[in-house]
Structure 1
């Protein structure tokens, strides 16, 4: 059994994948789930961003993107599509990198995830060395209190998670309440209605997970 798990963060520059290209052309930031490589060679990617017609049009015009679908929830645009372009991240995944989060911005990407032990890290680094523009930004041991049981994870969107975090930090859930919904919404840069909708959806997800 491996005793130590490491958290690693990689930066990718110069990758010409559709999401990196789109953030360079549309001046947008994209939060993506780890891509899923299908048996037919296509890559299923799911990601979200602030609403942007320019981003949607850029992706739709990219010949490497197929079946682009856009929905809107909690003030963000959620995208799903297939890509015919192989992602650099697959090279690292094949070497043992367990991707947890990906953020594309300014034509590049930051990936955060885990590697199980230093031997695996060395293999991932060798794979990164064979890939153009991949560099290790930082690595540190995963503390036992940093990890949570898989069954206790909550399906929150990045916007919902941010709304709850800011609300907690500002004292929205304190008794008596120290800030109003309007003040939290202003801090988030959204309307009161959007904040309350995010909060209700997040609470529904949390309570649904807790009570089945």
Structure 2
């Protein structure tokens, strides 16, 4: 029996799959289930987005000729999408090599995969598969502790843009008392508008507070 199990996180850029393309065009974020490959070569996709982003996302997905049978259903403040895709997903290449995907996030065209591999030999095969596809970068790798109840470690539920906004604000002293910089200065450092920075900051803080107190 192989006792070593490793948690692995990948970052993917440059992918043109339907979900990556749609989130890039609409500047939205979706969380997705691992894609299911059918024997006929089609892929079953399931993902969810915030209700505020759902209309724009649905319009783009509905016009993508690589997708069929798009269905959307609202559940509380989220909208769940299901469809059939004719386009292969990058994560399937890694799965075929032994990557056991646990979570997928598409954030404005950038993808984040978290999962596990059993043993170093499998990891080598997964890394070889990653090297043969579009911009796949290994972000983190660490042993899965026997005391862990979940297959992968918990992650803060904010997007890459929200994390960057909060980290930059922290580094520049926005949260200090008194503040060393104002919102406009943080926005300039990020290269975005003041309103965009404040929106990302509020959403990121809300996600953290929900994780802590919800």
Q: Name the TM-score, length of structure 1 as normaliser.
A: 0.71
SS of aligned partner of 1:144: coil
**Deviation of 1:124 (Å):** 0.3
Please name the residue that 2:69 is paired with: 67
The runs of at least 4 consecutive aligned structure 1 residues that moved more than 2 Å come to: 165-170
What SS is found at the alignment partner of 1:89?
helix
Q: Give the CA deviation at 1:166.
A: 5.0
> What corresponds to 2:47 in structure 1?
47
State the distance in 1 between where 2:150 and 2:21 align. Answer: 34
Question: What CA distance in whole angstroms lies between the structure 2 residues aligned with 1:168 and 1:115?
Answer: 27
Pairs within 5 Å for 1:1-212: 1-51=1-51, 52-148=54-150, 166=209, 169-170=212-213
User: Which residue of the partner structure matches residue 175 of structure 1?
Assistant: none
Matched positions, count: 159
Report the alpha carbon displacement of residue 169 of structure 1 after superposing the two structures with TM: 3.4
Which ranges in structure 2 are unaligned for 5 or more consecutive residues?
152-156, 158-205
CA distance in 2, matches of 1:44, 1:168: 30
Cα gap change, 1:146 to 1:88, in 2 (>3 Å): same
Work out the CA distance in 2 between the residues paired with 1:116 and 1:168.
Answer: 29
